[in-house]
Amino acid sequence: MTAPAKMLLIYLDETDLWHAQPLYEAIVRRLRQAGLAGATVTHGIMGFGSHKKVHHKRLFGISDDKPVMITAVDEEATIRSIVPEIRAMVKEGLMVLMDVEVVEPAPD
């Protein structure tokens, strides 16, 4: 990966859907199809968004609306080319695009 690199963060609820499938799954599949270097979905323990409703685990660790974050890092041109399509998929939530420095693993 060459500079400049960007990191796309997408904050959603686990229950958000896209054509009857979880939105986070649809986004990750689309990012893969677009050829991004990689993407990771992380479940949040607790959070709130613009509606100020707190999302967290309930009794027995069950929650119907846990927060989810998708992280993707790639070259700026690659990320920027897919942002408009992903933005159209995210009806509620937050998308953040940040400059990042990619640190390659040390050689053996």
Q: What domains are defined for the chain?
A: 5-100 (3.30.70.120)
Burial of 100 by CB count in 10 Å (0-12 exposed, 13-18 middle, 19+ buried)?
middle
Q: Give pLDDT tens digits for 38-97.
A: 999 998 877 777 666 776 666 555 556 788 999 999 999 999 999 999 999 999 889 999
Of 7-11, 68-72, 99-103, the one with minimum mean pLDDT is 99-103
The pLDDT of residue 10 is above 90: yes
Confidence of residue 1 (pLDDT cuts 50, 70, 90): confident
